[in-house]
Amino acid sequence: MLLHDRYDMTTQGLLMVVLVIVYNKGALRTNVDKRSDFKWVSEEMLYEKLHNTDPSIPKEKGAKKDAVVPFGMTEDVGAMLDKFVERDYLIKDKIKPDDDSSGVYYTMGPRAALEIGRKQIITFTAEILGEQPDPSMLAELEADDESEEETEA
């Protein structure tokens, strides 16, 4: 099972969509901290992409929609994102913005990396698009795994 039994399928679905957005639309941050080699997505982009996936999700955090609950969830997206952060599926970071953005960014957390993994995210993305997973991306993952094993040895 993707997540523990206490999560319902809609919550799992939202988490997978968020992880797909982070993995595919996120960008590497440079000169920020030791986690700069992860892909990060801004809160604004995350909400925009979630809205594009399901128009009942507001385009920005805190905006209200016509009492339509996205993905059939019982909580709003912001509360669900906070739960994913609390449970280490996501990492949330705030940096001083140079523009009008919130400065809030998300990346894949350690629990998502262990329980879900990049391979499942790539496979899930391909399924959504009705395609086969990109062989070069899978080969890159295998190469990363091999280099990590060599480093640990």
Residues 91-149 pLDDT 10s = 999 887 777 778 899 999 999 988 998 889 989 888 888 888 888 888 887 877 676 66
Structurally, the chain folds into a number of domains equal to 2
What is the domain-level CATH number for residue 80? Answer: 1.10.10
Give the mean pLDDT of the chain.
80
Q: Which of 1-15, 30-44, 84-98 has the highest mean pLDDT?
A: 84-98
Q: Evaluate whether 21 touches 46 at the Cβ level (below 8 Å).
A: yes
Do residue 106 and residue 125 come from a single domain? no
Do residue 62 and residue 43 come from a single domain? yes
Q: What is the DSSP letter of 39?
A: E
Residue 35 has pLDDT above 60, yes or no: no
Output the pLDDT for position 1.
37
Q: Which domain holds residue 41?
A: 9-115
- The model's pTM is 0.78
In a domain, residue 88? The reply is yes
Do residue 54 and residue 42 come from a single domain? yes
In a domain, residue 58? The reply is yes
Question: CA–CA separation, 108 vs 103, rounded Å?
Answer: 17
Residue that the structure tokens 């968020």 belong to: 18
Question: CA–CA separation, 131 vs 133, rounded Å?
Answer: 6
In a domain, residue 27? The reply is yes
